[in-house]
Structure 1
């Protein structure tokens, strides 16, 4: 049922076009605009033209002046996101309900890579064949800005695989100034970057070879520059960044933000992501500078959770908001550039992610803080809080905690969607265990406080389904006397659980650095099927290295991936099984995907006491030398600087323990992220060690196992079959 979407929960993230309006596509494919305050709905565009043509749409974007609408369809596939193109039609919304399609002779409506409207009016930029183009003056002027784009060498205005996966929020590398007078774009050059190649079989007589740049640890990385287009005269100015001479092995562009109309602020970070610099690049020359407080450095590990935090502009060009580590926890600071001064707005043993309300000087943020115990955290929850953006009042208040009283156990994990000016906010409550998510609407009153308006998505159909389906029960707890503070576990207990019975247990592992698996929200996946249909207990556990419990716990795995996490998983499973008689200690298995697959291999390699009987690894990394630079070197540094860490972090060891476990390996041959090379080398290692194991290789499937028809369904059928064999079910 979970594969059929039976338990799919709906949330509500409006495509806001103003402070109180959003746009959406209805069931007839017409585009409508809704005033969320009055609930008055206005038709923008009839859906008949593209419905009759059989187009399958995946996105829409309306111009800032709401006079034009871009509709995107016919998304193509490819070996990486940046080569997956789409088609686009632009409609004029000024001619009544039967709007007309805008004919732009020089606009390639097919095989586009990126499209962005300007923040004012209806100019737009786009990326086509790795080059940046621009339309201005109501489409009268069309300009090609770059001409050196190349799929293998030069990426203009669009991220390569490396940046898209690990650095930028979006794979579009174009940034309009708020007044639309400037357009900044990044260029990534793959000079000296090594490429990876693999075969795609399809139905060809000879396989097709796919080749794309993919730097691995210790090899050259791309170089990135930022250029600004002045729309008044189309002049190009490349940012004159400072000489990062101490970063001689290369550096990355982390993010770009306009602080007002005249200051462009790129954030750069060094190759191993433990140092970062925010720059001031001012019009018209765009010479860049920074003061000491605009730098960040970690002495215990990497910066941020997954990456360096972006900066958030304010209505004062001299001031921006960001998140940095304070006493080992990620907290909000308001930075005053001219004064070179931080004004920390939050502090304590919890972590945050911010948004600014300029009108009432509030900073909104999601946090792990417990309202009942200020200053302390419950890592498995998220609520929306706020604090004043300036002044001596730094008292925090939770604006979503009360929703859990109105909707019991449905609102422990929230994500907000603020309208353009913050007049409204939709709070998406993520549910909890078997309690369905709910989305609520709130309106800001004259005092700047948000008042509850009503439910905008209640998931009533899902609730009816949950009332008649037997899903697992859930338990959250932390293990006392353990190696990491607050090492939380989540148990999925079979329906009609009976403590006097003996149950097999499956451990689901990921345990990647900064990751969090134990979350108090509604999630239905294979683990729930296993627990409810196969009468198996499923455990998830966050040990050392995982996120949102402070740098001290997270950075314990720095330069030592794979050395501590397997011991934590073994110890947690052993402790749980020995202290609870309802767990059958002879029937404990573990499975993981990607980094989880890597951790599983390390667990088996270390499990001399056979706490686990079986293991199932999907698309695992086996040696960090095989994975890409930005992720690996952030946690492991370069091989030349951490040879011991790379050697001990290899999963190709512990052959004696593999011989005593029932092990199965799964991987797609077209995996663009964790290359099939990893499993190929693992299979060679196991065969050389005379290990009995099972291997399933999905031809032409990628890291998600979802590109080939029935691939995603098939992998879970295979996993279920192997688990049944392991537990004699």
Structure 2
């Protein structure tokens, strides 16, 4: 890393890149107890662990165990002294009747708090623990997910050698439910591992098993027509392998839904008609197992159906249909998050469905014969997810961006299933991560803002505050005297649309001086990038926001038009318009902030982004070369023809050739006059191919640039690859952005086509 900074600044940079201990506590993930309303959480380190119980009726916090009596009982059982001073374990399982299972030194025990007796566990708990297996994903390498337990815990289901397998708890034997799986024509089952990590959604499928464990919803995936993209793995020795790449307008996986009779070992294909150019995702089973519900999205994501299948006959019926002129859902949420925004009521009486048909995402209650019963939420704000349904109390709990003055704040709200006014339950502005208790009697909210640390509060289901469980300790962070973070509101390039973002400032900022600016960009329609909560980031990408300020940079990000989380009209700006509005919105943001803050130096602006953010980093340097002087594009997907992920937002290539041609970045090479670095991993074959082709176009246009190739790195850089990427990024900005004035003179271009392309880009 080449740097003009002193050793202290570099040490502070490194501290933010490895921020363990700078922010302690404040976030409590509840482990719900058997009463369905109280929870426990562990506190302290290995030497002084204590487990606290938070009472669901009063909010009273007290130790769940008497530490001295627990240590004494376990020590007597084992006939030896125990290490440290606190509990010799930090996780427990509530077995009911004041009995708790815990593990110590590889063995399992049961503690009774009635008399503090401890007995060895007769049946090791690990026998009931799911094992991991590999499940394929679109355009990426397979991921490891857990086996899926049957409702009666008699079986675990998984995939091995392309077939559906069963395993009994405690056994290593795999029993094949199917035997016809073959390479590129394999079976698949959905798994709860694809659900968003912060959500427990009762009524929405967490499992492909029918309630009584007789049936299993599965799919068979035919990838044989999908082309292979070869690439080299660099391990102990080179080896050539391939990855299936579903390109825009090209062949997709053909997914055929099935139900499997587990006891009879029989499979039944569901007659859903054509399976080509369709995506299927599971919703769930009716409580009596008479039907399984799932969605079918069209390839262009302009239409969706909710289908119900009878497992005995295979008969299919359509519950509801919806279509739109543009994309009806975020493709990434459906395919990568298994989140189709459909929630089946636990008693099978209806379905909660999210739709943007009014111009905002809202929830609607449907009967299972497809009739809309009522709208559950309404207004000029987007509802996000169903978090819990209380059938006995008649409430639905949802998250929503409910505050129109702060449109990215996330709140927990509730509304009656029979209708009524939506109630906001989280009192504090900012980001609220919520967990609702299994009995729907209480919830916790982890609240923060970019300028306000985490706190966890415990509430009754109606929003009454029971107790503040924990506040973050930021003494170590404050001792470093970091620069501040602040939210901002600006106006988009259209002169009327409000945009929101976050700016991170250097420590000891002197408003009389000028500071270089680095923009972190994503700007794609799949997710918003601005972090509206507190924290130092859970990966290097977000940690750089804070760490770079220690080297004297102002770092900012903004969610431009075309990103999600606002109205459908705001999101639809991207449709067939990819690449036209995102960079002008970022330019408008920079210019407005520079008018407000004299310390922002518009002569020294850098930009970087990953994946689609890498795409837009390149686009920014080509489309606004007078504004963006230095850029880093990591894993940039620059060619929309090479990935079907572009299809919902550009439409299919055969119908939108002009949109694809404009979105492609290869012709943009001639417009780049600043200092660009491209970074990719070779185990990310489609993106690596895009990156190398982009480099080739830059070379032909005689554009000087840096190219960093990480052997065997995937789409997300990890460990040594990630550390090396950070060094290269920082070195690139330190070398090229810290100069007071940059000589942004384009090289002599003798190639007429390149010269003409440059002029076209500069006129855009």
**What is the distance in 2 between the residues matched to 1:90 and 1:113?**
25
SS of corresponding position for 1:557 = coil
Confirm whether residue 354 of structure 1 aligns to residue 373 of structure 2. no
The residue number in structure 2 matching 1:694 is: 706
Structure 1 pair 456–102 and aligned structure 2 pair: CA distance change class (3 A): closer
Confirm whether residue 368 of structure 1 aligns to residue 394 of structure 2. no
SS of corresponding position for 2:449 = coil
**What is the distance in 1 between the residues matched to 2:264 and 2:147?**
22
Is the 2:608–2:631 Cα contact (8 Å) retained in structure 1? Answer: yes
Is the 2:109–2:121 Cα contact (8 Å) retained in structure 1? Answer: no
**What is the distance in 1 between the residues matched to 2:107 and 2:435?**
27
Gaps of 5+ in 2: 1-14, 56-61, 79-88, 112-117, 135-143, 335-339, 537-541, 740-764
Is the 1:380–1:519 Cα contact (8 Å) retained in structure 2? Answer: no
**What is the distance in 2 between the residues matched to 1:488 and 1:197?**
42
Q: TM-score, normalised by structure 2?
A: 0.77
- Once the two structures are superposed, residues 152-175 of structure 1 have per-residue CA deviations (whole angstroms, 9 ceiling, x without a partner) of 43133268x9x999xx999x9951
Structure 1 pair 331–119 and aligned structure 2 pair: CA distance change class (3 A): same
**What is the distance in 1 between the residues matched to 2:297 and 2:640?**
21
- How many residues align structurally? 664
The residue number in structure 1 matching 2:308 is: 280
- Once the two structures are superposed, residues 371-396 of structure 1 have per-residue CA deviations (whole angstroms, 9 ceiling, x without a partner) of xxxxx3622211111111114xx212
Q: CA deviation at 1:249?
A: 5.0
Structure 1 pair 231–530 and aligned structure 2 pair: CA distance change class (3 A): closer
Of 336, 347, 362, the match for 1:331: 362
Of 97, 105, 128, the match for 2:120: 97
The residue number in structure 1 matching 2:575 is: 558
Aligned Cα RMSD in Å? 4.2
Confirm whether residue 252 of structure 1 aligns to residue 263 of structure 2. no
The residue number in structure 1 matching 2:747 is: none
Is the 1:63–1:117 Cα contact (8 Å) retained in structure 2? Answer: no
Is the 1:17–1:420 Cα contact (8 Å) retained in structure 2? Answer: no
- Once the two structures are superposed, residues 422-449 of structure 1 have per-residue CA deviations (whole angstroms, 9 ceiling, x without a partner) of 23322222x22243212223344xxxx3
Structure 1 pair 164–100 and aligned structure 2 pair: CA distance change class (3 A): closer
Q: CA deviation at 1:101?
A: 4.2
Of 129, 151, 154, the match for 2:186: 154
Structure 1 pair 251–68 and aligned structure 2 pair: CA distance change class (3 A): farther
Confirm whether residue 507 of structure 1 aligns to residue 535 of structure 2. no
Q: CA deviation at 1:98?
A: 4.0
**What is the distance in 1 between the residues matched to 2:684 and 2:616?**
19
Q: CA deviation at 1:588?
A: 1.2
Confirm whether residue 218 of structure 1 aligns to residue 232 of structure 2. no
Of 519, 523, 542, the match for 2:535: 523
Moved more, 178-187 or 299-308: 299-308
**What is the distance in 2 between the residues matched to 1:702 and 1:125?**
28
Q: CA deviation at 1:12?
A: 2.9
The residue number in structure 2 matching 1:237 is: 268
**What is the distance in 1 between the residues matched to 2:642 and 2:23?**
36
The residue number in structure 1 matching 2:82 is: none
Of 415, 425, 432, the match for 1:414: 432
Q: CA deviation at 1:326?
A: 3.6
Is the 2:491–2:589 Cα contact (8 Å) retained in structure 1? Answer: no
**What is the distance in 2 between the residues matched to 1:612 and 1:140?**
57
- Once the two structures are superposed, residues 79-132 of structure 1 have per-residue CA deviations (whole angstroms, 9 ceiling, x without a partner) of xxxxxxxxxx9989899434444899xx99998864122234544323333322
Gaps of 5+ in 1: 50-56, 72-88, 371-375, 405-410
Structure 1 pair 100–136 and aligned structure 2 pair: CA distance change class (3 A): closer
SS of corresponding position for 1:573 = helix
**What is the distance in 2 between the residues matched to 1:416 and 1:286?**
39
**What is the distance in 1 between the residues matched to 2:125 and 2:544?**
49
Bigger Cα Rg: 2
The residue number in structure 1 matching 2:163 is: 131
Is the 1:268–1:276 Cα contact (8 Å) retained in structure 2? Answer: yes
The residue number in structure 2 matching 1:679 is: 691
Q: CA deviation at 1:69?
A: 9.9
Is the 1:304–1:330 Cα contact (8 Å) retained in structure 2? Answer: no
**What is the distance in 2 between the residues matched to 1:175 and 1:252?**
16
The residue number in structure 1 matching 2:490 is: 479
The residue number in structure 2 matching 1:597 is: 614
SS of corresponding position for 2:712 = coil
**What is the distance in 2 between the residues matched to 1:155 and 1:173?**
18
**What is the distance in 1 between the residues matched to 2:386 and 2:435?**
12
Q: CA deviation at 1:325?
A: 0.9
Q: CA deviation at 1:68?
A: 13
**What is the distance in 2 between the residues matched to 1:634 and 1:555?**
11
Is the 2:679–2:709 Cα contact (8 Å) retained in structure 1? Answer: yes
The residue number in structure 2 matching 1:452 is: 465
User: Which structure is richer in relative contact order (CA contacts within 8 A, separation 6 or more)?
Assistant: 2
Is the 1:92–1:100 Cα contact (8 Å) retained in structure 2? Answer: no
**What is the distance in 2 between the residues matched to 1:271 and 1:508?**
31
SS of corresponding position for 2:396 = strand
**What is the distance in 1 between the residues matched to 2:564 and 2:479?**
36
The residue number in structure 2 matching 1:626 is: 642
Is the 1:492–1:531 Cα contact (8 Å) retained in structure 2? Answer: no
The residue number in structure 2 matching 1:397 is: 423
**What is the distance in 2 between the residues matched to 1:606 and 1:335?**
47
SS of corresponding position for 1:329 = coil
**What is the distance in 2 between the residues matched to 1:25 and 1:144?**
41
The residue number in structure 2 matching 1:52 is: none
The residue number in structure 2 matching 1:715 is: 725
**What is the distance in 2 between the residues matched to 1:626 and 1:63?**
52
- Once the two structures are superposed, residues 667-690 of structure 1 have per-residue CA deviations (whole angstroms, 9 ceiling, x without a partner) of 122226x52111110111111111
Confirm whether residue 662 of structure 1 aligns to residue 680 of structure 2. no
Structure 1 pair 364–197 and aligned structure 2 pair: CA distance change class (3 A): same
Confirm whether residue 119 of structure 1 aligns to residue 145 of structure 2. no
SS of corresponding position for 1:653 = helix
**What is the distance in 2 between the residues matched to 1:481 and 1:152?**
46
Is the 1:93–1:99 Cα contact (8 Å) retained in structure 2? Answer: no
Q: CA deviation at 1:271?
A: 0.8
Is the 1:68–1:90 Cα contact (8 Å) retained in structure 2? Answer: no
- Once the two structures are superposed, residues 480-520 of structure 1 have per-residue CA deviations (whole angstroms, 9 ceiling, x without a partner) of 47426221232222223333221211111110114222342
SS of corresponding position for 1:684 = helix
SS of corresponding position for 2:713 = coil
Structure 1 pair 225–116 and aligned structure 2 pair: CA distance change class (3 A): same
Structure 1 pair 256–579 and aligned structure 2 pair: CA distance change class (3 A): same
Confirm whether residue 647 of structure 1 aligns to residue 664 of structure 2. no
**What is the distance in 1 between the residues matched to 2:125 and 2:407?**
50
Structure 1 pair 70–174 and aligned structure 2 pair: CA distance change class (3 A): farther
**What is the distance in 1 between the residues matched to 2:728 and 2:576?**
35
**What is the distance in 1 between the residues matched to 2:729 and 2:690?**
20
The residue number in structure 1 matching 2:480 is: 469
Structure 1 pair 3–366 and aligned structure 2 pair: CA distance change class (3 A): same
Structure 1 pair 288–66 and aligned structure 2 pair: CA distance change class (3 A): farther
The residue number in structure 2 matching 1:408 is: none
